[in-house]
């Protein structure tokens, strides 16, 4: 789906029709469809993951519920997201091709993320080095900005805004 939308977007943009990127959220689990007595019964986790992409700098976010069902899943950790309207965190990953997942840039990202997860004060420096060495990486930049603003750890709360 992502490959198709990217190809289509580039084709249309070349034709002078400006289309933005498509963001995707993937989650699995029980779902209640329809209104059965109020807003308390609605669960739009995949839609909330899709929306989180804009802030994270990613195009695709996949919940751990999904990655656990895919033995050959390749990707990098994003963090533990507390999505709008939720109290429990959801561990999320950004899928990558096998080549991307094995790249030096992703290896550096994983090392920086491990420091972030462990509460290591060297996480800021690791993300700064990653961004400096490999150029624009929106997710690494997102984490670096969080750290520079005083945030810690891998839990990321999305407010009601």
CATH number at residue 10: 3.30.70
Query: Helices 123-134 and 138-148, interaxial angle, to 10°?
Result: 150
CB-based contact 53:79 (threshold 8 Å):
no
DSSP state, residue 15: T
CB-based contact 137:131 (threshold 8 Å):
yes
3-state secondary structure of 61: strand
Which pLDDT belongs to residue 161? 46
Which pLDDT belongs to residue 41? 47
CB-based contact 84:48 (threshold 8 Å):
yes
Range of the domain at 94: 2-157
In angstroms, rounded to a whole number, what is the distance separating the alpha carbons of residues 27 and 9?
24
Residues of the chain with pLDDT under 50: 41, 161
Which pLDDT belongs to residue 13? 92
CB-based contact 118:97 (threshold 8 Å):
no
| Tens digit of each residue's pLDDT (9 = 90 or more) over 68-114 | 999 999 999 999 999 887 888 899 999 999 999 999 999 999 999 99
Total domains in the chain come to 1
Mean pLDDT (the chain) is 88
DSSP state, residue 143: H
Q: How many CB atoms lie within 10 A of CB 141?
A: 16
Q: Which two tokens stand for residue 83?
A: 């999505």
In angstroms, rounded to a whole number, what is the distance separating the alpha carbons of residues 148 and 90?
23
3-state secondary structure of 95: strand
């Amino acid at each position: 789906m992502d490959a198709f939308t990217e190809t289509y977007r580039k084709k249309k943009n070349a034709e002078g029709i400006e289309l933005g990127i498509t963001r995707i959220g993937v989650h699995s689990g029980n779902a209640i469809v329809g209104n059965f007595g109020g807003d308390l019964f609605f669960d739009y986790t995949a839609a909330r993951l899709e929306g989180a992409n804009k802030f994270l700098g990613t195009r695709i976010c996949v919940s751990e519920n999904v990655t656990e069902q895919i033995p050959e899943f390749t990707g990098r950790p994003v963090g533990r997201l507390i999505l709008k309207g939720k109290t429990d965190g959801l561990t999320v990953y950004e899928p990558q091709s096998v080549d991307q997942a094995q790249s030096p840039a992703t290896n550096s990202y994983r090392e920086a993320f491990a420091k972030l997860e462990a509460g290591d004060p060297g996480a800021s420096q690791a993300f700064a080095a990653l961004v400096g060495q490999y150029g624009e990486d929106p997710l690494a930049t997102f984490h670096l900005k969080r750290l520079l603003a005083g945030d810690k750890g891998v839990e990321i709360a999305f407010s009601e805004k």
